[in-house]
Amino acid sequence: FFGGGATVVSVRDALFRLGTRRVVQLVIASGVAPVAQAPVEGYQLGGGDLLRHSVAVGVAAELTARELGLTAPDHVFTAGLLCNLGKIVLGDFLGGMPDDVFQLAEREGLSFQQAERRLLGIDHAELGALLLEHWDVPGPITHCVRWHLDPSQAPGQGENPDQNPDLALDLVHCGHVLATMAGIGQGADGLGYTVCRECLTRLGLTQESMADIMASLVDAIEEIEEILGQIRQ
């Protein structure tokens, strides 16, 4: 994904090796790290798990675009990185309740997201979007965060044949699915989410392409963690 194996010893080295866009993404990830590194008890996420999953979503979204020969919108990585923001806050309310969410989901055939809404009146995707709106984060990013768990519910997404679906939203959803399937930074919610089949169909994702993306994703995450560590030193 990034290429090369030389040690990064300065920002200049990073720019040369990765290109400006990648360095910007790593800087964004570094900025999110302080709040995403802490454990999130309500989702049974250990220290660093939330950050790893969030970065994996952003990277997987871009890898999906590359695999399919698409040009990912500039905000795709950032939207993927921020999609779990609501878990940081909602995790405090869940506390020791993840088992309650699981039991409700299993008993009534709900996704983890639907069970969140039933128990708490809101899910982490909506809460994250509300926080981003409050902070005046650009609308396209907020939109992806709000609907990344279920693009089919997003206003206008695929409803009108004359209206192009939001490519960024579809990519972030697939990024979330692939990062979760790869088991990167997985918490108590695990695989308890629905996959938007319409989204996969729109993008033309196959089982083979998904397997290829996940293989690249694991390698990319290892390199990202290494580079972030080197830049901080």
Q: How many residues does the chain have?
A: 233
- Report the alpha-carbon distance of residue 77 to residue 74 in Å, rounded: 7
Q: If you search the block for the tokens 């390199």, which residue do you land on?
A: 223
Residue 106 pLDDT greater than 50, yes or no = yes
Q: What dotted CATH number matches 11-232?
A: 1.10.3210.10
Listed by start position, the domains of the chain span 11-232
Q: What is the pLDDT of residues 183-225, one digit of tens each?
A: 888 887 776 788 899 999 999 999 999 999 999 998 888 777 7
Paired strand residues for 76:
none
Q: Supply the pTM of this predicted model.
A: 0.81
Q: Are 174 and 60 in contact (CB under 8 A)?
A: yes
Q: If you search the block for the tokens 């509300």, which residue do you land on?
A: 130
Per-residue b or e along 148-184, where b marks 16 or more CB atoms closer than 10 Å to that residue's CB: bbbbeebeebbeeeeeebbbbbbbbbbbbbbbbbbeb
Q: What is the pLDDT of residues 118-176, one digit of tens each?
A: 888 899 999 999 999 998 989 999 999 999 999 988 987 765 555 678 999 999 999 99
